[in-house]
Each structure stands twice: as C-alpha cells, then as structure tokens.
Amino acid sequence: MPGTLRATGIVTLVAAALLGSAYALGRSLVPDRPRHGTGVAASVNSPHYSDQPPVPTDSPEPTGTSPTPKDGPHRADVGEGPFGSLISTGSARVALTFDDGPDPQYTPQVLALLREYGVKATFCVVGENAATHPDLIQQIAAQGHTLCNHSWNHDIALGKRSPDAIRADLLRTNTAIRAAVPNARIEYFRQPGGAWTYPVVSVCEELGMAPLHWAVDPSDWQAPGAGKITAAVMAHTGPGSIVLMHDAGGNRAGTVTALQYLLPELMNRFQLEALPTGTT
C-alpha cells in the first residue's frame, strides 16, 4: 500500500517540496505571523475542526491567571498553551499527533506510513470511534503509539459543561479505549477545537491526564491539499513542536499524501517521538 501511495502521489509531493521551500523563503522576508493571546502560533485560518460549530465566544474565563500546573510527570515547563495546556514536548524532539480517529479508511494508511519510517506518534481518539473500531485502537497500541483522550463525540462545547458532565465524558472515552486495550496508558486529553476552559483542564488533570494542545496547525482538517499541509508543517515546525494533524473527521487523503514527504524530511531535521516520551 505505501508503494502505491508513493506512486500516485509523486507529482503532488514534488509540488509540495517546491511549495514548502517557497513558503519558508517567503517567511524569511515578512514579519512573524500574529499570535493568539494564548501564545500559540496562529494557524492559517482557525483551530476549529471541520464538522463542528465555531468555538463559543462566551466560554467561561478564569479569575486571575491560568491554573498553576500540578507537580508531577506531565508538565515540566511546557504548559504554555491555553490554560496551561502543553504545546511543547519539553525537549528538542518533535511530536506528531493525529486527531479524531480511529477511521477505518485513513488510520490504517497513517499507521502503515509511520511503521514504514519507524516513527511513533500520538493518536487523540474520539470515544465513539474507539468503541466502533476497537481493532484500530489495538493496532495503534500494538505499534507503540501513544493514546490520548479526545472526548466522547468531539463536543467543542464540552468545556462549558458542568464538571460532572465533563468528568463523565472523559471517563466514558477512557472506558471505550480500555475496552479495546485493557490497562492502556491514557496520559493526555485534547479538548475538541482547542476550546479550553478552566473546568475542562481541572477535570482532565484530576483524572491524571495532561491537557495537550499544539504548536503547529497546518489546518489539514480543512483538506487544503497535500502541498499546503506540507508547506505549513515544514515552515512552522521547530525543536519541541507538537504538530496537529488528522486521521479522521473528513477526507484525509491530503494528509496521508503529505506524510509521505513530511516523514523523511522531518526525520532529517528532528528526532520524532510519541508522547509522553520527553515530557515524563
């Protein structure tokens, strides 16, 4: 399968490489992109995922500063994202993360490419999908990738709900993951849409999970094509970056094609890791 993908995607990847170089050159000639108030680099568009309503603008704000990170193995000095969420691995290593799966069409293709290049990644899985495709959860774990809780049904408004409702959602998702892989380590939670609030961070940490955000968002959830995905990742990834991509939630053919170029190129520049390595 990887050989077929490379054959069919060769023209796109050559264009992607040229676009990535042009993109990086252009970046050196213009000022840095604006940043969100959270300190996370702005994406080309916005961090909202495809099939989801916009992040509510009236999400509850904390009083004072963001919650103080708890002592423990997760946080180190990397909780610089919204409400203290993680945007860095805490080392020079780079972490690739894949959201919204597992998906029976695209997750196996992503897994095959990662296996071909010997790369471990982090999969932020949706509870409904984990319950429907336990075999894919088993494959992710068996290949040494990290599992991350991404809520039961990708509810962007989850952070606005009561702590009890948030807790029930996260526990239900963990149960679905562990039904496929008993005793699975689930040390991270990623809030859908990046719509973090104090209550959702508080609950996920109470359950022993670190809030996992990202530093690089190529907006592949909008299916912009392999060239744009490649250019964005190559232009913005640096030491310690957590990169957001998707293996589900829509047509992810562009992401799969982009990975054929990105994996060897990133490996030439960085050491790639599966969280929690480097943050524990």
8 Å CB contact between 67 and 202: yes
- d(C-alpha 34, C-alpha 42), whole Å: 6
8 Å CB contact between 126 and 101: yes
8 Å CB contact between 96 and 247: no
**Catalytic annotation present for 77:** no
8 Å CB contact between 217 and 47: yes
Instruction: Provide φ and ψ at 111, rounded to 5°.
Output: -60, -40
User: Quick one: CA dihedral 223, 237, 200, 136, positive or negative?
Assistant: positive
**Catalytic annotation present for 99:** yes
DSSP string, 39-92: SPBP-SS-S--TTSPPPPTTPPPPSSSSPPPPSSTTTTT---SGGG-B-B-SSS
Among residues 48, 74, 99, 145, the one annotated as catalytic is 99
Among residues 154, 217, 246, 247, the one annotated as catalytic is 246
Query: Buried b / exposed e across 252-263, counting CB within 10 Å, b at 16+?
Result: bbbbbbbbbbbb
The residue written with tokens 């193995």 in the block is: 73
How many whole angstroms from its chain centre is CA 88? 12
- Cite the active site residues: 99, 246
